[in-house]
């Protein structure tokens, strides 16, 4: 699980600006900030990739959370990617990740649009996507501030990750473009066989080189991901590949030790 040597300079500068603003907004309670996702996994595509960040703070509540929310939404116009997607969690939540994957704040914001903020409620106290954010941060997180992610973020069991990836593939078929669904299936195969978390592009290239997936489907998806071809909904052959991969993941999860 090797991160890229250095995330893109524009993303690093943006991440540092966000971290500085969050430190102020939190009243000094911010303990760590990690850049993750394609910017650190080596799959960054300008104009298509998101800026993904995880912020870890002491127990912030009330006004501090509202200030952090405003600071993140206000920074969307400066985002060098397609959108900013970030979560704020407490130190305790990060140290011992577990269902329902509790959090403090989740923000998605893109240039020119109002940001969308989510806070936990009694009906929805957690965010299952966080388990993968934790795993990616441990594998390839770039610390903007704070300790190395492996020193602060607890381990998410492999069985849980396999189940999550299988579910994400099903979601991708229903709701996402072909490139997203197919390349996520490729990166899931690499996690299954190599125990490595890689970018969508790296996953697609690896499966192509190993000839463990349908070449024409993956080549189409890579061209779309790189903006060389327009986005398309998943075609029938893409759906077959993605669903077969999801079935493999679920089968492997059953055989994985639960501890």
| Residues 19 and 142 grouped into a single domain | yes
Q: Based on the domain organization, do 146 and 186 belong to the same domain?
A: no
Which of 142, 19, 32 is closest to 72 using CA atoms? 19
One domain, residues 56 and 181: no
pLDDT along the chain (259 residues), means of 10: 69 96 95 96 87 95 92 92 95 97 95 88 94 97 97 97 96 95 98 95 96 97 94 96 97 84
Number of structural domains in the chain: 2
pLDDT of residue 259: 57
Domain boundary among 152, 176, 208: 152
Q: Is residue 1 part of a domain?
A: no
Residues 146 and 24 in one domain: yes
Residues 102 and 164 in one domain: no
Q: Does the residue 25 lie in any domain?
A: yes
Q: Report the predicted TM-score, pTM, of the whole model to 2 decimal places.
A: 0.93
Looking at 152, 179, 195, the residue that finishes a domain is 152
Domain limits at 99?
9-152
> Beta-carbon neighbour count of residue 191 at 10 Å?
22
Candidates 202, 192, 90, 73; CA nearest to 140 is: 202
Boundary (domain end) residue, out of 152, 169, 187: 152
């Amino acid at each position: 699980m090797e991160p890229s040597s250095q995330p893109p300079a524009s993303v690093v500068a943006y991440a540092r600006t966000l971290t500085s603003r969050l430190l102020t907004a939190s009243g000094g309670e911010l303990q760590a900030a990690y850049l993750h996702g394609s910017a650190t996994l080596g799959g960054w595509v300008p104009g298509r990739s998101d800026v993904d960040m995880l912020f870890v703070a002491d127990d912030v509540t009330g006004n501090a959370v509202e200030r952090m929310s405003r600071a993140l939404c206000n920074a969307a116009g400066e985002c060098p990617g397609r959108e900013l997607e970030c979560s704020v969690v407490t130190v305790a939540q990060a140290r011992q990740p577990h269902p329902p994957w509790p959090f403090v704040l989740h923000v998605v914001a893109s240039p020119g649009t109002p940001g969308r903020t989510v806070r936990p409620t009694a009906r929805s106290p957690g965010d299952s996507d966080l388990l993968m954010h934790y795993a990616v941060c441990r594998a390839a997180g770039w610390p903007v501030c704070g300790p190395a992610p492996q020193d602060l973020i607890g381990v998410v069991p492999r069985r849980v990750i396999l189940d999550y990836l299988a579910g994400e593939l099903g979601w991708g078929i229903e709701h996402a473009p072909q490139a997203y669904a197919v390349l996520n299936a490729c990166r899931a195969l690499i996690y299954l066989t190599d125990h490595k978390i890689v970018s969508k592009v790296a996953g697609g290239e690896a499966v192509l080189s190993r000839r463990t997936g349908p070449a024409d489907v993956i080549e189409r998806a890579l061209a779309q991901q790189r903006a060389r071809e327009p986005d398309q909904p998943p075609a029938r052959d893409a759906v077959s590949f993605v669903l077969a991969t999801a079935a493999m993941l679920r089968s492997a999860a059953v055989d994985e030790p639960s501890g």
